Amino acid sequence: MSNTRFSAVVPSVTVVVVAAAFLLSACGRLDTATAGESDSGAAADRGGEPESSAVAGTGIDYSSIDYDGEPGPSALRGDRLAPEFPPPLIDPELIVSGGVPPDAIVPVDDPTFMAVADVRFLQPSEAVIVVEAGTEDDTEKDREVKAYPVQIMIWHEIVNDVIGGVPVSVTYCPLCNSAVAFERQLGDRLLDFGTSGELYQSALVMYDRQTESLWAHFNGRGLVGHYAGAELTVVPAQTMSFEQLVEEHPNALVLTRDTGAGRAYGVNPYTGYDDEQSDPFDAFFAGEVDARLDPKARVVGLVVGHDEPVAVRITDIDRSSVIEVPGSDAAGTDAGNLVVFHQPGLASALDRAAVATGRDVGQTGVFVPRADGGELRFRATDGGFVDEETGSVWTIAGEAVEGPLAGSRLEPVPHLNTFWFAWSAYYPNTEIQET
């Protein structure tokens, strides 16, 4: 591992107090009416590239490590440089306290669901995280679809679940505005995850309860401990409005508020946090924010080709509603280009005091533009997205609902809808896709 040590930012007392107020509110320790707002002042004269990658290359071949062996000590509670561990993926000193102990932001370990038609607690424009999974033997129609309302996820951040027979953890980090789902089976071990109470580059750090290793929610990499360098399998997760969920997946199951924890579901404890020009909290973020975009500009982030990170600013997609992202061997396929869809109708959960009343930030989907053996080009219409080759009409979820290809589905591509500061910290060599 490189000997380079990143210098952590020394937070001011004011920043620590405000930042801790947000997290304490999220774990139910503050009245949400008194939670402080984020510093909305724009940082002046940001310049230069970020100092270093948040997940720096270590030169270690982690693929040769046997992670199925007996775990050593806890990285959550003990020595993070214990000799029993593989070399840490990052400098452990960059993992900082969020001001709360492990699992104070309580994960949901025994989730309950209701049919989408029975849901009465969600407004049409509210965000839900939609995950579809199934075993290898399942046909596409047999795969199970579950939806996780952000008004619940904002308070719990992790749900350990099983979808279509596949053990999955669905995660959401309010501070970097990202939703990611992972398979929980890793080698011979079935994992379940908790919130560590710590952050890395202002993003949720998870821990697995089986070995108490620390993991980056943002990309599913083991950071420190028994699983340092390991990778979880990402399951595509799409954030869409509840109204869109009803239209796309009428048989979906929706996570209920019956979580066993008393939280103010529907209330946003991070009011005003998503001001595009405001910085991440210094207490939780090391280095400078990449100045090419505003810190909390919303982007679609994905990795194409040979580990080539690309970001598309959502306001740019909004102008055209369809953007092609070039890349040979994109997303591990031979399809070449990817396509990003955007349509309005999704409320920001991090804007106003009520989750349902946030401004419209739109919803996106990323797909391999291929169906029935042929590649497709798309344009947006009032009724959805139309491919130029057959005139079929497609939805934001990548399903053809009219025309010769009706019933076909585009292959979804794992991606993140997130804030620029977080994406560029984890992927500092990102190319910004121009429209």
Same domain as 304, residue 191: no
Same domain as 181, residue 328: no
Same domain as 340, residue 427: yes
Quick: pLDDT tens for 363-396.
999 999 999 989 999 999 988 999 999 999 999 9
In a domain, 206, yes or no: yes
**Average pLDDT over the chain, rounded to whole?**
86
Quick: pLDDT tens for 217-272.
999 999 999 999 999 999 999 999 999 999 999 999 999 999 999 899 999 999 99
What string of DSSP letters covers 307-346? TEEEEEEHHHHHHHSEEEE--TTGGGSS---EEEEEES--
Q: Which of 236, 255, 274 is the last residue of a domain?
A: 255
In a domain, 152, yes or no: yes
In a domain, 184, yes or no: yes
Same domain as 234, residue 287: no
Model pTM above 0.75: yes
Quick: pLDDT tens for 409-426.
999 999 999 999 999 999
In a domain, 240, yes or no: yes
Same domain as 291, residue 222: no
For 355-364, letters b (16+ CB in 10 Å) and e give bbebeebbbb
In a domain, 276, yes or no: no
Residue type, 342: H
Q: Which two tokens stand for residue 148?
A: 């996780």
**Do 195 and 204 form a contact (C-beta atoms < 8 A)?**
yes
In a domain, 266, yes or no: no
Same domain as 288, residue 235: no
Q: According to the model, what pLDDT value does residue 434 have?
A: 79
> Which residue range forms the structural domain that includes residue 334?
282-432
Total tally of structural domains belonging to the chain? 2
In a domain, 342, yes or no: yes
Same domain as 247, residue 292: no
Same domain as 185, residue 223: yes
**Do 411 and 368 form a contact (C-beta atoms < 8 A)?**
yes
Same domain as 346, residue 248: no
pLDDT tens by residue, the chain, 435 residues: 333 222 233 233 333 334 445 555 555 543 333 233 333 333 333 233 333 344 444 578 999 999 999 999 999 999 999 999 999 999 999 999 999 999 999 999 999 999 999 999 999 999 999 999 997 776 776 799 999 999 999 999 999 999 999 999 999 999 999 999 999 999 999 999 999 999 999 999 999 999 999 999 999 999 999 999 999 999 999 999 999 999 999 999 999 999 999 899 999 999 999 999 999 999 999 999 999 999 999 999 999 877 899 999 999 887 779 999 986 444 444 447 899 999 999 999 999 999 999 999 999 999 999 999 899 999 999 889 999 999 999 999 999 999 999 999 999 999 999 999 999 999 999 999 977
In a domain, 6, yes or no: no
- Residue 7 DSSP label: P
Q: Which of 255, 270, 304 is the last residue of a domain?
A: 255
